[in-house]
Structure 1
Amino acid sequence: MELLLKLVHPTVHSTEGRALRRDAVRAVIMHGDDILLLYTRRYDDYSLPGGGLDAGEDMIAGLQRELAEETGAQDVQVLDAIGYIDEYRPSPEPGYDHLFMRSYIYRCSASRELGEAQMEHYEISNGMAPEWVPLARAAAHNEAVIARQDAGMGMSIVRETWTLNYLRGLREQSARAAS
C-alpha cells in the first residue's frame, strides 16, 4: 500500500521518539458523483466513514464493523486499497512524545440504501450522520470550514479534505483516460 500523505501537527517538533500508535481504516464508497460520508454537526465537516482498529483486529473486518456502526452500510464489498495517510499529533496520554496514526483507505462498494447505524454515544452527541453527498460539494464545504479557521476545527479535517480532493483528482484522471 502506498503512502499518500504525511501530516505533522505544528506542536509536534519531531517524528522520532516514543509514539503511541493508532491504526485506522477508512472507506471510499461512491455511487456516481455521490460519496458516502459522515457529516458532523459539531464540527460542521464531512469525513470518510471508518475509525480505529481494535487490538489485533483484521483491517477488513474492522472496516466492515466501522461501516456498519457508523453508516448502516449494507452489502459491503472491499474492492481494493487506495493508500494510507500518516499523522503525527500530540499524544493524549503521558509518557509518549506523540501520537502516530496511520489511516488505511480502501475503495468499497455498498448498497445505496443504508440500514440503521449503531453509533457510539460521542458520535451521536456530536451530531454525526451518514449522508450521500456530491464529492465536489463535500470538498468545497470542508475547504470553506478550513478557510474560516473555526475554533473547534481539528487536524482531521485537513486529512479528510486532502483525501476528498485526491479522490476528485483520481476521478478526473479516469474520465480523461476514458474519453
Structure 2
Amino acid sequence: MRLLRSTRHPNITNQCDTSFHRQAARGIILNGEDILLLYTECYHDYSLPGGGVDESENFQQGLVRELIEETGAKNIRNIKPFGRYEEFRPWYKDDFDIMHMESFCYTCEIDDDLGPNKLEPHELENGMTPMWVNIYQAIRHNENTIANSDKKGMSIERETFLLKLIAKELIA
C-alpha cells in the first residue's frame, strides 16, 4: 500500500526508546462531498472511522468490524486500498516510550441507512458520534481546532492531512 506520509512527533529525540507497533484500518466513505466521520466532543475534532486490527484479523476484516462498531454501517463493500499513514508519537503509559502507529486507509461503500453502533466505554465517555459531514467543513473545523483549542488530541493532524488528501484525490 502506498505510503501517504511518515511523521515523527517533535518530542521523540532518542532512537533507543522502547516502542510498540499498532496497526489500524480506517474507512473512507463518501457520498458526493459528504464523508462519514466520527465527531469526538472531548477533542473537538472529526476523524475517519476505524481502529486497531486484532491479531486474528486481516486489515479488511478489522475495517469491517470497526465500521460496524463505530458507525453502524451496513453492507460494507467495494473495499479498496487508498494509502498508509505512519507516525511515531509518545506513548502515555509506563510500559513503552513510543508508539509506532500505522493507519491503513481504505475506500468503501455502505448502505445509506446506518444501524445502531456499539461504541466502547471510552468512546462514549469522549462523546464520539458518527455523522455525515461536508468534507470541506470538516477540514476547516479541524484546522480551527488545531489553531485554537487546548483540547486537541494527537491524531488531529493525521486526520486533517487525510481529509485534505481525500478531498484532493477523490472529490476535486
Q: If the length of structure 2 is used for normalisation, what is the TM-score?
A: 0.93
1:57 equivalent in structure 2: 57
Counterpart-to-counterpart distance in 2, 1:68 and 1:28: 14
1:115 equivalent in structure 2: 115
Counterpart-to-counterpart distance in 1, 2:3 and 2:80: 15
Counterpart-to-counterpart distance in 1, 2:123 and 2:95: 28
Name the amino acid aligned to 2:169: L
Q: CA deviation at 1:7?
A: 1.7
Q: CA deviation at 1:122?
A: 0.8
1:9 equivalent in structure 2: 9
Q: CA deviation at 1:166?
A: 0.4
Counterpart-to-counterpart distance in 2, 1:112 and 1:49: 16
Counterpart-to-counterpart distance in 2, 1:158 and 1:82: 18
1:164 equivalent in structure 2: 163
* Structure-to-structure mapping, 1:29-178, within 5 angstroms: 29-94=29-94, 96-148=96-148, 150-171=149-170, 175=172
Q: CA deviation at 1:56?
A: 3.3
Number of residues paired by the alignment?
A: 172
Task: Point out 4+ residue stretches in structure 1 off by more than 6 angstroms.
Answer: none
Counterpart-to-counterpart distance in 1, 2:147 and 2:97: 29
Cα gap change, 1:79 to 1:3, in 2 (>3 Å): same
Q: Which region of structure 1 is more displaced relative to structure 2, 50-59 or 13-22? A: 13-22
Indicate the RMSD between aligned Cα atoms, in angstroms: 1.5
Counterpart-to-counterpart distance in 2, 1:44 and 1:23: 24
Q: CA deviation at 1:95?
A: 5.2
Q: CA deviation at 1:17?
A: 5.2
Q: CA deviation at 1:26?
A: 0.2
Counterpart-to-counterpart distance in 1, 2:125 and 2:18: 33
Cα gap change, 1:86 to 1:15, in 2 (>3 Å): farther
Over residues 70-129 of structure 1, what are the superposed CA-to-partner deviations in whole Å (9 max), with x where a residue is unaligned?
Answer: 000011114310010001011334453411000000001001211000000111111111
Counterpart-to-counterpart distance in 1, 2:45 and 2:87: 19
Name the amino acid aligned to 1:123: E
Give structure 1 stretches of 5+ with no counterpart: none
Give structure 2 stretches of 5+ with no counterpart: none
- Whether the 8 Å CA contact 2:22–2:101 is kept in 1: the answer is yes
Q: CA deviation at 1:68?
A: 0.5
The percent of aligned pairs where both chains have the same amino acid is 42
- Whether the 8 Å CA contact 2:77–2:110 is kept in 1: the answer is yes
Over residues 116-149 of structure 1, what are the superposed CA-to-partner deviations in whole Å (9 max), with x where a residue is unaligned?
Answer: 000001111111110001111111110111111x
